[in-house]
Amino acid sequence: MADNRSAAKKSVKMRADQADVAQKRPRSRGKSVAYPSECYIPQADWAVSSQSPRIPQIIYVVGGWALAALAFFGDFGGHQNGVVAQSFGQSFKRDLCQEVVQPNAVLSREDLAQMLTIPERSAKSALREIIAEPYCQLPGLAVRADVTAMREAYPLAFDPQTWLVLLYEGEEYAGYAFYWEE
Amino acid sequence: MRNARFRCSLVLGALLLAGCDVASPMPPVAMNLHQQWQLQPGDRIAGYEVSSGLGDIVIELAGKGLYLPRDGRIQPLDASPDCALFSSPEIPAYQMRICGLKQKHWGDRKQGQSIGRGDRVSLAMLRKQVDGTWTMVEPATQLLEQFLDTQ
């Protein structure tokens, strides 16, 4: 059994040696090794004459990885794509508000809790009895055919980076969403 | 005699017509739908043909991409593994069910990013009901255009 294993090792070693000869290349690149003349193969200029022959090879390795990364993450349709965004990275005031209505508007815990008791499809006026004017209005939005949606937003008093967005269709309240700002 | 020959040729002609024109010898029927839909089969949005549109809007995407109309989330649907659900905090009370995409890019993604590609995709706009269920409504053509254009 042991003999078999060492024999196997030997044959592997032999194969490796044969491979070296077949490739006619040094195994350790750093050392200068004398080769029989029949082992000499012409090499590219940079490999023999450059003072530091490793640098160009590194460029190939880095370039290869860069190409692989591009192929993996890139969308060749020409659209911005790649790493999945965990956040949208937008400033609500700057990027989403179109018109500031009430710059001091914030929503307290009590207002929020009470507002959430109002069912969808209620009248806008029912909500406005609980919560005052919004901080801002967002641009009008075409979601459903023949209806233009209006959106209003309130920052939460106890969590100013979280915004409550309300969507109205005419005088009807359609629903809410929370927007987490970065 | 002349009249009879005329009638005969009329009948023959009608038979010939019926024999040759198998496509549509029936007059079209005008149907009053309870709900009027803007989009009709054969319409085009952003250059793509709509092949069905009573409920799910079916678009002949021919291998092209679909893009997020707003920042939002693309997540799998439990009941239909072929479909994806788009939701956005910028669009309260609505979600879009998208079926037929070949590869889907899941997760939180930005406006204009790719959702996936497909040959024939179907889009169903869902509106939130008071009881928390979702009902299908007709999406605005403008919104569909934003799904098809990278902007």
Dump pLDDT digits (tens) for A59-79.
Answer: 777 777 776 665 555 443 333
Give the count of Cβ contacts less than 8 A between chain A and B: 104
- Cβ atoms of B86 and B98 closer than 8 Å: yes
Domain, as residue range, for B96:
44-148
Q: pLDDT digits over A32-42, tens only?
A: 445 454 444 44
- The CA distance from B94 to B84, in Å, is 14
- Total domains, chain B: 1
Of residues B67, B90, B138, nearest to A145 (C-beta)? B138
Question: What proportion of chain A, given as a percentage, has pLDDT over 70?
Answer: 57
* Distance (Å) from the alpha carbon of B110 to chain A's nearest alpha carbon: 6
Question: Is B77 contained in some domain?
Answer: yes
Residue B39: per-residue pLDDT: 81
- The CA distance from A72 to B2, in Å, is 81
Interface probe for B, chosen from A86, A118, A141, A161 (most Cβ of B below 10 Å), is: A141
Asked whether the predicted pLDDT for residue A3 surpasses 60, the reply is: no
pLDDT band at A179 (very low <50, low <70, confident <90, very high): very high
Question: Is B38 contained in some domain?
Answer: no
| A118 SS3 class | coil
pLDDT band at B6 (very low <50, low <70, confident <90, very high): low
Contacting residues for A32 by C-beta, under 8 A, at least 6 apart: none
Question: Is B141 contained in some domain?
Answer: yes
Q: pLDDT digits over A142-160, tens only?
A: 999 999 999 999 999 999 9
Mean pLDDT of B104-130: 93
- The CA distance from B77 to B99, in Å, is 10
Interface residues of B toward A, Cβ cutoff 8 Å, are: 37-39, 65, 67, 71, 88-94, 105-110, 112-114, 125, 127-130, 137-143, 150
| ipTM of the complex in this document | 0.72
Question: Is B4 contained in some domain?
Answer: no
Chain B partners within 8 Å of A147 (Cβ) = 140
Residue A28: per-residue pLDDT: 45
Q: Maximum distance among all alpha carbons in chain A?
A: 96
Question: Is B35 contained in some domain?
Answer: no
In the numeric block, which tokens belong to residue B141?
A: 């053509």
CATH number, domain of B85, equals 2.70.70.10
Residue B77: per-residue pLDDT: 85
Among A28-32, A161-165, B97-101, B103-107, where is mean pLDDT lowest?
A: A28-32
- Report which of residues B24 and A3 the model is more confident about: B24
The per-residue pLDDT of chain A, averaged, comes to 73
Residue A7: per-residue pLDDT: 46
- Report which of residues A106 and B54 the model is more confident about: A106
Residue A69: per-residue pLDDT: 62
Question: Is B72 contained in some domain?
Answer: yes
Question: Is B52 contained in some domain?
Answer: yes
* Distance (Å) from the alpha carbon of A99 to chain B's nearest alpha carbon: 15
Q: Which chain A residue is nearest to residue B141, measuring alpha carbons?
A: A145
Q: Which chain A residue is nearest to residue B69, measuring alpha carbons?
A: A143
Question: Is B139 contained in some domain?
Answer: yes
Handedness of CA A48, A51, A54, A58 (dihedral sign): negative
The three-state DSSP-derived secondary structure of chain B is CHHHHHHHHHHHHHHHHHHHCCCCCCCCCCCCCCCCCCCCCCCEECCEEEEECCCCEEEECCCCEEECCCCEEEEECCCCCCEEEEECCCCCCEEEEEECCCEECCEEECCCCEEEECCEEEEEEEEECCCCCEEEECECHHHHHHHHCCC
Chain A partners within 8 Å of B94 (Cβ) = 143-144, 167, 174-175
Mean pLDDT of A104-108: 96
Interface probe for B, chosen from A72, A73, A88, A169 (most Cβ of B below 10 Å), is: A88
Q: pLDDT digits over B45-94, tens only?
A: 888 988 877 778 999 999 999 999 999 999 998 878 889 999 999 999 99
pLDDT band at B151 (very low <50, low <70, confident <90, very high): low
Chain B partners within 8 Å of A149 (Cβ) = 91
